[in-house]
Chain A
């Protein structure tokens, strides 16, 4: 746990120049950045969507998602994704 990049109190922000949006032509959520794009699968798309919509801490994000997914505990999955996203330069600390 200790080697995680973020903790419950971290406020999550997309990296400078990154933009989240729904792409009808690809039928999926995407993250756009200087001269590039990644397609996000369902869960990743939901997380990044929430981050792009409102400034909140990791704990708040997890609470929101848990609510949306009928109380399933998603904390580990979320942290795993956030680490990955940070490594890819999508998120700022």
Chain B
């Protein structure tokens, strides 16, 4: 294993589900973590976005009252952490109202934002409404990053936002999603963080869901890049000890064992998508045979305890070999169901990231395909496909 400090974090795609909440493992089957994807609308177009490819098809959104009702129900069932995400949560005009309602219910409220649409007054309003924590993720396509470092408006805006976060007495938590196009700039990224006096920096790795899966060949980092990036991250970790905490996550495609995805299916994690569909993880909508229960038709209790979706991969009975008879299954739950499905066609298969999987070669082939793409002359390389409504319609076809 590489020396990642935070490799227990199940899935960075939605901000951290925090390794520590996983420590509460006697507390199984309570939706401790509610991820509210408030909207799919977003002014940015990150090609690594984990949102579904067909996001533009989903136009309806839960109302303020409907969201608050979701919060109430989840809270009554034991939820303590609420992630307000999307899309860009700041596109919801009622965000402050939702924060206030959630905080009044006793939630620990986290806003996960790209900073687009944010200004210093808004941060102060969030504070007043009782927001507990805000994570600003930097859009990290290489072009933007270069702009950022070259001192454009986007860069200035980010700096202002980061400063506003600190001025309101929040720790500054910055998140960078790394991939082939930006991972060679880890030192620039960390220098920027030092300059901003960040408290926590997360060097997350691109997980291949949604748009990221579509752009996998163009995003896949190379082994040499990872070795360099990791060495750089460790150097900064040592230098910044006690000042800035740096989390570095190793891409699971380069690991021998899969991530303990979602801390187990239907175990502690509940996602509600913009139009009210409840999912055991943000990517699960794509799996075959899902009934996609909606909070508008059913209570969260019925969905969590009774729906076939949430029971599908609970426990260990659904497993196939080699997981079924493996002594590590309680550690990683056989990995990610969505990854198993996307790569092997059967969501009950072992996550092919695992070296024991008979499909592990698929992961090696994906890495090789990324390398082949990177080795092509620039003009022949596939362009990155950006996450926007036009591409969503064109590619999915609706």
Contacts and interface: CB of A to CB of B under 8 A. Distances in A.
A30 B15 CA distance: 21
27 contacts: A16-B169, A16-B170, A17-B132, A17-B170, A17-B171, A23-B78, A25-B30, A25-B75, A25-B77, A25-B78, A26-B27, A32-B108, A32-B132, A34-B110, A34-B132, A34-B135, A35-B17, A35-B18, A35-B81, A35-B133, A36-B21, A36-B81, A37-B21, A37-B80, A38-B20, A39-B24, A39-B27
Given A19-B132, A25-B30, A26-B27, A37 B170 contact: no
Interface of B: 15-21, 23-24, 27, 30, 32, 75-78, 80-81, 83, 106, 108, 110, 132-133, 135, 169-171, 173, 200
A33 B199 CA distance: 14
B106 A21 contact: yes
A35 B132 CA distance: 10
Contacts of B15: 35
Contacts of A19: 108, 132
A34 B76 CA distance: 21
Nearest to A32: B108
A26 B31 CA distance: 12
A90 to B, nearest CB: 10
Nearest to B18: A36
B171 A32 contact: no
Contact of A37 (B32, B75, B77, B173): B32
A32 B81 CA distance: 8
Interface residues of A, number: 16
Nearest 9 CB-CB pairings of A with B: A36-B18, A25-B78, A36-B20, A35-B18, A32-B108, A34-B133, A35-B16, A36-B21, A37-B21
A57 B297 CA distance: 53
Nearest to B16: A35
Contacts of B80: 23, 30, 32, 37
A82 B330 CA distance: 32
Contacts of B23: 38
Given A17-B133, A19-B108, A26-B27, A35 B83 contact: yes
Contacts of A23: 78, 80
Contact of B110 (A21, A35, A38): A35
A25 B106 CA distance: 12
B18 A34 contact: yes
Contact of A16 (B32, B83, B171): B171
Contacts of B83: 35
B24 to A, nearest CB: 6
A33 B24 CA distance: 14
A32 B170 CA distance: 15
A24 to B, nearest CB: 9
B158 to A, nearest CB: 20
A36 B132 CA distance: 12
Nearest to A22: B106
A18 B305 CA distance: 31
B20 A37 contact: yes
A77 to B, nearest CB: 22
Given A35-B110, A38-B20, A38-B23, 8 more contacts: A16-B170, A17-B170, A26-B27, A32-B80, A34-B135, A34-B171, A36-B16, A37-B32
Nearest to B134: A34
A37 B81 contact: yes
A32 B78 CA distance: 13
A3 B17 CA distance: 34
Contacts of A21: 106
Contacts of B20: 33, 36-38
Nearest to B76: A25
Contact of A36 (B19, B27, B30, B135): B19
Contacts of B106: 21
A93 B16 CA distance: 26
A37 B76 contact: no
A7 B243 CA distance: 23
Nearest to B83: A35
Contacts of B75: 25
B231 to A, nearest CB: 26
A34 B299 CA distance: 27
Nearest to A39: B24
A38 B108 CA distance: 13
Contacts of A26: 27, 30, 78
A35 B18 CA distance: 5
